[in-house]
Chains A and B, each alone.
Chain A
Amino acid sequence: MRGRDFSGKISDSLYLPVTLIAAIAMVIPVYILFKVSVSAPGEILTAHPSFLIKDFTLEHWVKVLKSGNLKAPFVKSFTVATLTTVAAVLIASPAAYVIARMPRKIKYPLVLSLFLTRMFPEVGIALPISVQFIKMNLIDTYTGLVLAHLILNLPFAAWILVGTFETIPKDLEEAAMVDGAGKIESLIKVITPLALPGIAVAAIFVWLNSWNEFTYALYLTVSQRTLPLQTYYYVVRGGWFDAATYATILTIPVMVVTFFLQRYMKGGYLSGAVKG
């Protein structure tokens, strides 16, 4: 009991500093990105750049916003990421539900087989897949990119959701059916709301992966670039300030989408669900 008190005290006292350090470590690179995007060149291009913003300028942002090169890549990336997420959740949820309810002996080989496509390095399979997509006239199309991103994300989404559905007791479904609900109704009205946190996690994961995806976008894009490709363009061209501005813009929707979806991620949602 004493040992538990001691470890409890340690975890209580370390909780805040560790959280703070982790948060700072994650925020600093984003801050530096932002700082470069709003600093005058003279402040950045020195041997010892300052940590704080001293010579603030919106020059780089104005240039990027006025260039006319932002809207199309932004819209393409956003649309593709959103469609990929919706498709992944719609396809993976029922599949994961069925897998979760299977006997253990079948379930695990099935989950493992989901990752078969992820066993090969992306650069290795990107070319043959892209060749097939080009044959199907899917180059430079939203459809092509969504389908390519589904190859990457469906196994992970299904895996996350299998874990989610496994935690929901089967008794809940049975109780709903005793109360007169059909199989589909109990799935929609009872199981899905309880699975929302897991679905939100899967959705965030898929959305972020698709939003940042580069390899397939590179192969399947000729003229309509995505935002990561646009950022890559400036990085390759050596345009530090444009690259930093685009990279900062790249992070904004990530924060918005994550903030929006994290509302559904609540702990303890099953406590007291089934009484003995």
Chain B
Amino acid sequence: MKRNLFKAVCLALVAILFLASLTGCGSTGTTDSSDKKEADPRKGVLKVAMGLGEEEWKVMKENVFPEFEKKYGVKVEPIQMEAGDTVKKLEAMHQAGQMDIDLITQDNMQLAQLVDKGLVEDLTSYKDMIPDAVIPSLIPVGEFNGKLYFMPYRPNVEIAFYNEKKFNEYGLKPPTNWDELLQVAKTFKEKEGIGKVVVKMNLGPDSTCHMFDFIRSAGGDPTVLNDEGSIRAFTFLKEIYPYLSPESKKADWNTPNQYLATESAYLVQNWPFTSVVVVKDGGKKEIKAYHGWAGPVKESHVLGGEVIGIPKGAPNKEMAVKFMEFLMSKEVQEILTSKLGWPSMRTDAYGKVEEWQKPYFEAVSEALKHAEPRPNLTYWADVDKAINGALREIVLEGKEVKPTLDKYHEMIEKAKQAAGGK
């Protein structure tokens, strides 16, 4: 009996030891947050969260961070954080009262939630830090209700990618206006029996972006939605829809790469990273790019890209502010242009991009001339819903243009009034 009892005690001890070792094998040592603050394990470390590819991180680690580290005697710790995950992660840290990130760079299409949830610092007092040479349209992107929450960092814009081989095969030229776009779409449908032009109609943020381009280039205002320009845009979309690729309904920011690579689309507007994925890594050299097409009034592209923010409660805010200024400097902007082919936020920063990247860089630079920021509205979610609702009913379901747009205009107006007109 004694032996059995001994065995049982041993077994219990092993279990307790195992569980104790589990609680002790974490990489962070203390459990008391006040102890943590006193010991300050983060002193001299600046945690910077960005959503970058491997090549981009390499440039940051080899060409950007070392200069700052040398100048200020800090270690920059890079953290990979996708734009879509930033809100979740910052929210968890914020609610726990333990912000672990000092600075973020974030997709400018995903800023509203960060501001709404109070996850980022008000940077209005640092507005003077923005260099005079900045492209002026980049500043409003970071402003909400008159306050500056984000600093300009990296402008970006969608460009049109096309399969040069297929265009040549059918004697087509990349379309520069709506009439040509319709003609190209019709030709592909006629020759191949299936549409090969993709317009993003996934009824999400990606299709909103494309609808903005169409409405604005017809002289309309997407936040009004029933003006003359909007009516022209939706009438055109209804006309071209039967000739578009069926992939249009699934197209987001990522899937066009696959469509171009597998030739289920020959023409689609997407973000410039497509050139890296499809041309550089995928070896599809026949995929070329240009700035895109104009509407009946003008050419317009939604201004995308990334901005800099400082999470609320960032442990090293002062150093983060210095790093923010460093990222906007001419020196860093030129490195980013030369090494990564990113267009600069400054008008005085020039860089020589790699040979293969030149045509795509030129397309982006040209499209940026026609780029317009998306308005930062507190009722943005309603605008987004209204635009996609109109797209679904008019284009996908074939309903009448004017009455449908009137209905969604009312929806936006109600949201605007509820938000106090801001």
Contact A219 B284 (CB under 8 A): no
Interface SS, A side: helix
Q: Mark A130-165, 1 if CB is under 8 A from B, else 0.
A: 111011111111111011000000000000000000
Contact A219 B53 (CB under 8 A): no
Chain A neighbourhood of B25, CB < 8 A: 141-143
Closest Cβ–Cβ distance, residue B263 to chain A (whole Å): 4
Closest Cβ–Cβ distance, residue A163 to chain B (whole Å): 23
- CB of A19 within 8 Å of the partner chain: no
Alpha-carbon separation in the docked complex, A222 to B36 (Å): 18
- CB of A185 within 8 Å of the partner chain: yes
- CB of B8 within 8 Å of the partner chain: yes
Segment at the interface with B among A98-106, A114-122, A237-245, A265-273:
A237-245
- CB of B43 within 8 Å of the partner chain: no
Chain B neighbourhood of A241, CB < 8 A: 281
Chain B neighbourhood of A142, CB < 8 A: 22, 25-27
Alpha-carbon separation in the docked complex, A219 to B93 (Å): 9
Contact B88 A218 (CB under 8 A): yes
Contact A41 B28 (CB under 8 A): no
Closest Cβ–Cβ distance, residue B283 to chain A (whole Å): 5
Chain A neighbourhood of B82, CB < 8 A: 233, 236
Chain A neighbourhood of B15, CB < 8 A: 90
Chain A neighbourhood of B80, CB < 8 A: 225, 233
- CB of A70 within 8 Å of the partner chain: no
Q: Total interface residues on A, using CB and 8 Å?
A: 47
* A220 (CB) vs chain B CBs: closest residue: B92
Chain B neighbourhood of A13, CB < 8 A: none
Given the interface pairs A135-B33, A219-B89, the reply to whether A143 lies near B22 with Cβ below 8 Å is: yes
Alpha-carbon separation in the docked complex, A171 to B263 (Å): 68
Closest Cβ–Cβ distance, residue A23 to chain B (whole Å): 28
18 contacts between A and B (CB under 8 A): A45-B261, A45-B282, A46-B262, A87-B18, A87-B19, A127-B95, A134-B96, A135-B97, A137-B26, A140-B28, A141-B26, A143-B24, A182-B1, A185-B7, A188-B11, A223-B79, A236-B82, A237-B54
Given A127-B88, A222-B47, A222-B101, 8 more A-B residue pairs with CB atoms under 8 Å apart are: A127-B92, A135-B33, A138-B26, A141-B25, A141-B28, A222-B79, A239-B53, A241-B281
